[in-house]
Amino acid sequence: MLELIHKNKAEDGSIKYAFKDSNGNAFEAVYFRLPPNNGIPYSVYHMCISSQAGCAMGCKFCATGYGGFFSDLKAELMREQINVVRDDIICSEIESETTEFNVVLMGMGEPLANYDNVVKFAHIANNEYNRLHKVAISTVGLTPKIFKLAEDLPANLNFKLYISLHSPYDAERAEFMPITRKYSIQSVLEAGRFFAKKTNTYVRVTYLLLKGVNDTDQHAHDFAKLLDPHLFETQIQLYNATPGIPYGRVDDSVGFRFKDIIESYGFKVIVRLSSGRDVEGGCGQLIKKIIPRNAERVLSKM
């Protein structure tokens, strides 16, 4: 069972929820809509849920990464996040019961590090929700699990795999995504190519712009050169700055310059400006603020 412990509504309409499980481990979910002009149908709303309480991947730009890992969430706890958020937005008449929705596992945790529960959840969600439009999972690139996932998903599930790349260079990526020391960019993209071919879907490769770190034109060119336009699509994200974490947000214009460069290589590119910036909308930010135990661990690692 999960317990709702906090709820915040942002000026842009997104709502962030903080939960804890029966052991007191905290995690987050977010309801949001994307702007109509961003390449995703506006008729669909989104619920971003957590797959773990905390995370062991240690990405340096992420408040959850600084907090460390607490526990894997059972499939049932992922389902409960959807039910609580959905009940809330329907009861509040923000959304209707008949509106289709996407579920994205991009909250706290690395979904493929909690593989069995995430695959079980995908099967449950596929059977249970007749308004479910799509399930998406975002991974830092646990290469063997990407190969396995291509075999284990429900055959009729509308599914999208996101791979967080954030740099075209292994050495640079390893500086802020330590998993790169275990799985190189090339190995992750090889798994992504396999997944795209096996599932007959485009894999979406995401690029989080960090001011002064990975935001030059050369980065954009080299990122595009790594990918195959017939297997991958791309998404540019602008970092949601977190107090105490040493990365800054680029101007929106940098995101659109990246888009132009990558599009010139024949890719579909989506630019995501962050949702919920006034409610600690970035992964782990709300928990860092409201749960002292996590906050202590965050601060002790800075």
> Annotated active-site positions, please?
28, 283
Q: Write down the least CB distance from residue 59 to ligand SF4, Å.
A: 3
Among 108, 153, 188, 269, binds ligand SF4 (CB under 6 A): 108
Q: Write down the least CB distance from residue 113 to ligand SF4, Å.
A: 8
Q: Computed over its alpha carbons, how large is the radius of gyration of the chain? A: 18
Cα–Cα nearest to 153, from 128, 138, 133, 135: 135
- Binding mask 272-301 vs ligand SF4 (x if CB under 6 A, - otherwise)? -----------x------------------
Among 21, 72, 80, 110, binds ligand SF4 (CB under 6 A): 110
Q: Nearer Cβ to ligand SF4, position 89 or 161?
A: 161
Does 59 help bind ligand SF4 (rule: CB under 6 A)?
yes
Q: Nearer Cβ to ligand SF4, position 65 or 168?
A: 65
Q: Nearer Cβ to ligand SF4, position 58 or 229?
A: 58
Total residues contacting ligand SF4 (rule CB under 6 A)?
A: 12
Does 205 help bind ligand SF4 (rule: CB under 6 A)?
no
**Crossing angle between the packed helical segments 217-226 and 252-263, to the nearest 10 degrees:** 40
Q: Write down the least CB distance from residue 64 to ligand SF4, Å.
A: 4
Cα–Cα nearest to 84, from 132, 22, 15: 15
7, 23 contact by CB (below 8 A): no
Residues of span 139-158 touching ligand SF4 by CB under 6 A: 140
Q: Nearer Cβ to ligand SF4, position 95 or 285?
A: 285
Stretch that binds ligand SF4, among 14-22, 53-61, 70-78, 236-244 (CB under 6 A): 53-61
* Residue 226, token pair as written in the block: 């790594």
Query: What does DSSP say about strands 15-20 and 3-9: parallel, antiparallel, or unpaired?
Result: antiparallel
Does 109 help bind ligand SF4 (rule: CB under 6 A)?
yes
Q: Is 129 exposed, middle or buried (0-12, 13-18, 19+ CB in 10 A)?
A: middle
Cα–Cα nearest to 144, from 112, 119, 168: 112
Q: Nearer Cβ to ligand SF4, position 181 or 230?
A: 181
Distance between CA atoms of 62 and 10, rounded to whole angstroms?
20
Type of residue found at 32: F
Cα–Cα nearest to 164, from 203, 196, 207, 222: 207
Q: Write down the least CB distance from residue 130 to ligand SF4, Å.
A: 30
Cα–Cα nearest to 121, from 28, 70, 199, 52: 52
Among 14, 25, 64, 294, binds ligand SF4 (CB under 6 A): 64
Cα–Cα nearest to 198, from 155, 162, 228: 155
Among 19, 29, 31, 65, binds ligand SF4 (CB under 6 A): 65
Distance between start and end Cα atoms, the chain: 33
Which residues of the shown chain bind ligand SF4 in the complex (CB under 6 A)?
Answer: 55, 57-59, 62, 64-65, 108-110, 140, 283
